[in-house]
Amino acid sequence: MSLSEDIAKLREETGAGVMDCKKALEEAGNDFNKAKAILATNAGTIAKKKAERATAEGIVEGYVHAGKIGVLIEVKCESDFVAKNADFKAMAHNLAMQIASMSPKDVEELLSQDYILDSSMKIDDYIKSLIGKIRENIQVTRFVRFELGEEK
């Protein structure tokens, strides 16, 4: 594969920027898997730097599974621009599906779960990968899960 094809493939798989993909490939000696690992590490570093920034915007996403399980989740970000971003909205929806499927008791447990759509990563890693892509702090602040007939 040519360098430009590797960059395009890496960008597609990770969501990282073109220059970030190019730098990761150069650093990895054009080894695709090493470059992917470098980008994952970079996303974690970016997430750590952004963690202290205020999250005053965001969305509440809902998901209902077969009319039997319902989830509402609040996911916050720094700007209304990102709150309207398709990737951000998709992540919130995927997290609501995760909660419906895996029934975590709180946000901390949710973040430590294997991601149902990609078991090679935890939910925390999934969120960090989006932080690395959009360069804003993202926080899952709360959620509620209802199951038909469930007593609380």
pLDDT along the chain (152 residues), means of 10: 83 80 87 84 74 90 97 97 97 98 98 96 94 92 95 72
Find all residues with CB under 8 Å of 79, minimum gap 6, and list them. 57, 136
Looking at the structure, tell me whether residues 85 and 26 fall in a common domain.
Answer: no
Q: What is the pLDDT of residue 25?
A: 86
Say what the pLDDT of residue 90 is.
Answer: 98
Q: Are 63 and 138 part of one and the same domain? A: yes
65 part of a folded domain: yes
Q: Are residues 73 and 131 in the same domain?
A: yes
Shared-domain flag, residues 67 and 137: yes
Looking at the structure, do residues 17 and 33 belong to the same domain, yes or no? yes
- Let me know if residue 32 belongs to a domain: yes
Q: Do both 139 and 81 map to the same domain? A: yes
pLDDT at 152 (0 to 100): 65
CATH of the domain at 8: 1.10.8.10
Number of structural domains, the chain? Answer: 2
Same domain for 43 and 64: no
Are the C-beta atoms of residues 118 and 40 closer than 8 Å to each other? Answer: no
- Provide the domain limits for residue 81: 57-147
CB atoms within 10 A of CB 61: 21
Same domain, 94 and 32: no
Query: Do the Cβ atoms of 18 and 5 come closer than 8 Å?
Result: no
Tell me, yes or no, whether 70 and 38 share the same domain: no
What is the rounded CA–CA span in Å between residue 24 and residue 20?
6
Distances (CA, A) of 40 to 13, 28, 126, 148: 11, 13, 10, 39
Look at the alpha carbons of 28, 32, 33, 38 in this order and tell me if their dihedral is positive or negative: positive
pTM for the full model?
0.76
**Same structural domain for residues 72 and 106?**
yes
